[in-house]
A and B are shown apart, each in its own frame.
Chain A
Amino acid sequence: MEKFTQHTGVGVPLRRSNVDTDQIIPAVYLKRVTRTGFEDALFAAWRGDPGFLLNQDAYKAGSVLVAGPDFGTGSSREHAVWALKDYGFRVVISARFADIFRGNSGKQGLLAAQVAQEDVELLWKILETRPGTEVTVDLASRTVTCDDVVVPFQVDDYTRWRLMEGLDDIGLTLQHADEITAFEQRREPWRPATLPAKHLPPVEVRPARPVVTLDLGPTRGV
C-alpha cells in the first residue's frame, strides 16, 4: 500500500447525509472481477445529472470529498472505496462514517477523516463560495486546512500508523502465524467444519419458468 502522510487537492462539497454505498456505486457495477477501473461507476446514478458536482469543471478534478454525516452506510462492498480511489479521491471527510466503509478505506489507503459537523459546514461554505479551492489534509498533525480555516480530524491510531507506513495487513498478521497455529490446536473439536461436506439427501431442483400472462387471468408457470 502506498504511504499517506499529507495530501492537497480540490475539495468537493457533497451536501448530502446518509450517502450509502449503493449511491457510491450501484450494484450493477459490482459484476466486474477486477480491482481497478471503477471510476466510471462512482456516483453513477447522480453523474447523469449535468448539475451534479463532479460534472462541474471546478470540482471535476476533486480529490478530497467533504460529505454529510453517515457516509458509506449499507452494503459492505469495497467497490465503493475502489470507485472513489479510481476516480482520484484520496480523502473523504464526514462527521460520521459507517464502520465497514471506514475499515475498507483503511485497507485501501483512502483516508476517512472524521470532522465535527460544524467544521464540515465551514468547509462546505468555503468550497461552495469558491469552487475549486484546495484542501490540505495532514495525517501527521491530523488537521484539515482550507483557506484560513484549520480544523482537526479524528482517525484511530492504528489506521493512521498503517497509512503512514503503507503497511499491508496480511503481511503484518502472518508475522504471528505460530500464534494462529497454537490457537487452532486449542479449538474445541466439535466446532463445525465445512469439509468433509455433509448434506441432506440430494434432490432435484426444478427450474422456474417465465409465467405467460393472458387476459383470462394469471396462468401457472411450469
Chain B
Amino acid sequence: MAGTLAEKVWEAHVVRRGTDGAPDLLYIDLHLVHEVTSPQAFEGLRLAHRPVRRPDLTLATEDHNTPTLDIDRPIADLTSRTQIDTLRNNAAEFGVRIHSLGDADQGIVHQVGPQLGLTQPGLTVVCGDSHTSTHGAFGALAFGIGTSEVEHVLATQTLPLAPFRTMAVTVNGELPIGASAKDIILAIIAKIGTGGGQGYVLEYRGEAIRRLSMEGRMTICNMSIEAGARAGMIAPDETTFEYLKGRPHAPEGADWDAAVEYWRTLRTDDDAVFDAEVVLEAADLEPFVTWGTNPGQGLPLSGNVPVPEQIADANERVAAERAIEYMGLTPGQPLRDIKVDTVFIGSCTNGRIEDLRAVAKLVKDRKKAQDVRVLVVPASARVRLQAEAEGLDRIFLDFGAEWRNAGCSMCLGMNPDQLAPQERSASTSNRNFEGRQGKGGRTHLVSPLVAAATAIRGTLSSVADLGADVPVPDGSPLDPDDALQSV
C-alpha cells in the first residue's frame, strides 16, 4: 500500500497494534535526555524499582541550565547546580552515557545527536523537549514528550502513541538572495498559524527544501512545533548521507551499505495521499521577522506592525493588541525602524556552524552598532571548537560580539543569559513568548543573516540594508580547506 514517509517509519516501529481504541505501542530507537525534564522521571523509576531498559539507546547532555561563561567554575545558581548534579547522579546510577559541561561533546541535545551520527534516517527519536522535531531533518520520526513519557521510555523503550495525520508542506522553486531556511519556516508558521499543525506530522518537500543543507533542514524541522505539529520530516537524500558518513556513530562498511539501501526507501510514495497540503513559492519569500508574542505573529521585514482595528477575527485582534502592548510597539510602525538592545545568535534552531559562518562573513571587518549587545553562542562545544579552528571567534570578537561556550543560553530564561524587563532582542532562537528570554523581555525572531545585519545597524535589518554592493553570505567555510572537517 502506498504510504507517506511518516507512515513508513511508524509502521516499522509498531511493537503492538492498539485494539479497542488503544494507541499503537511504538519502539523508540533513540532517547535523548537533558537535565530539566528528566529528574522526576528517574525518581519515578527509583520509586518503582525499575531499571533503564536500554541505556545503550539513551544519551544525556547538559544544556538548558548551563552557563556560557566560566564553565570551569561551579555553577553559581544553586538550583541550577542541583539540577545538573541530579542528572549526573542519575546517569551514573542508571548507566546512561552523559556529556557534561566542559566535555567536547556537550551541547544542546538537538545538535549533539546529529553531530555524533546518532540521529539517522528512519529512526524514532524522542526527548523531553519540544524541539526534538529537529531530528526529523534526517527522515527520522522525532517528537518532544513530557516527563511521564520520559519515564515510560526509560522503563520500556516504547511509547503508546495516538495516530497522527499527515500534511505535505511543499516549498517550490529557489529562495531569493537574502532569504534562508529560517525565513521559510517563519513564513510557514505565519501562514498556517501556531495551531495549524496540530495533530499532524509535517513533511517538508519541494525544490527549495531539497536545496537546503542539513543545517538548514534542521532549522526548518526544529520549528515544526511552533506550528503546533507533532513532528516535521524531510526525506533523506544524498545531502543526508553525506552529512552522516564518517560520523562517530554512523554505520560502517557493509552496515553502511545496508543502511543506505534502506534509507533510500524512506520517501513518500508517488501515489500516497496526505491529509492536508500547503504550498509556498520560495521566490515570494523575503527576510521574515516576528512582531508579536507567538511565532505565528510574523511578517516580512519590509512590512509594518499590524493595526489591530484592521484584524477581522476578534480573538486575533485581542491577541494582537495585547502583543503590541507587551512588545512596546506602535501599530503601523515600520518593522525596519525597530531598534534592538541585544542580538542573540545561537540555539538549537540557528547555533550551527553554517549559521556562524554566514554571520562571520557578514560582520568580518565591521563593528557592531554601539549600544547593541551581541551574543554568539554555539549550539555545542564541537561547533565552538570548529568555529575556532576556522578563525570565526576572532571575527566575532573584533566585531564587538561576545563569544560564549555552548548551551541553550538566551533562548530561554533558565540560565544567566537573559533579557532584562523591556529589553528588546533580535534572536535567532525559536520562541518569542512573553518572558521567554527573561521576565518582561521582548523578542523578535529572525534568521542569522537578519541578526547579523541588525547587529551592524542597530535596527531590524536585512543584508540588503547594508548596501547594494554587500554580497549575501552562505554557510560555506571562509577558507575552503575547512570544509573537510565540518562538525
Contacts and interface: CB of A to CB of B under 8 A. Distances in A.
Contacts, number: 261
A contact face: mostly helix, strand, loop, or mixed = loop
Interface in A1-57: 15-18, 20, 22-23, 26-28, 30-35, 45
Contact of B194 (A33, A73, A193): A73
Contact of A205 (B145, B258, B384): B384
Interface stretch (A84-92, A100-108, A135-143, A144-152): A100-108
Contacts of B413: 26-28
Interface in A156-205: 156-158, 161, 169-170, 172-174, 176-177, 179-180, 183-184, 187-195, 197-200, 202-205
B391 interface: no
Given A28-B413, A32-B79, A194-B97, A75 B56 contact: no
B148 A157 contact: no
Given A22-B435, A188-B258, A190-B251, A208 B294 contact: no
A23 B293 CA distance: 11
Given A76-B144, A158-B18, 14 more contacts: A18-B294, A22-B436, A26-B439, A33-B82, A77-B36, A99-B198, A108-B148, A180-B157, A189-B255, A190-B259, A198-B249, A200-B104, A203-B385, A205-B385
A119 to B, nearest CB: 15
Contact of B71 (A197, A207, A217): A207
B319 A78 contact: no
Interface stretch (B112-120, B335-343, B347-355, B468-476): B112-120
B397 interface: yes
B37 A76 contact: yes
B130 A75 contact: yes
25 contacts: A17-B316, A17-B319, A22-B412, A23-B434, A31-B77, A73-B194, A77-B36, A78-B40, A107-B148, A107-B149, A170-B48, A180-B15, A191-B120, A192-B120, A192-B251, A193-B249, A194-B30, A194-B59, A195-B97, A198-B116, A198-B248, A200-B104, A200-B382, A207-B73, A218-B397
A191 B57 CA distance: 10
A218 B368 contact: yes
A33 B39 contact: yes
A202 B99 CA distance: 12
Contact of A170 (B152, B195, B294, B431): B152
Nearest to A171: B48
B147 interface: yes
Contacts of B262: 188
A156 B162 contact: yes
Contact of A210 (B21, B56, B69, B397): B69
Interface residues of A, number: 78
B179 interface: no
B149 A208 contact: no
A209 B149 CA distance: 38
B377 to A, nearest CB: 9
Q: How large is the interface on B (under 10, 10 to 19, 20 to 34, 35 or more residues)?
A: 35 or more
Contacts of A207: 69-73, 102, 405
B172 interface: no
A99 B199 contact: yes
Contacts of B148: 78, 104, 107-108, 169
A160 B380 CA distance: 42
A22 B97 contact: no
Nearest to A108: B148
Contacts of B422: none
Contact of B248 (A104, A179, A199): A199
A210 B484 CA distance: 32
A210 B416 CA distance: 12
B431 A211 contact: no
A31 B402 contact: no
A191 B404 contact: no
Contacts of A202: 104
Given A99-B199, A169-B148, A20 B433 contact: yes
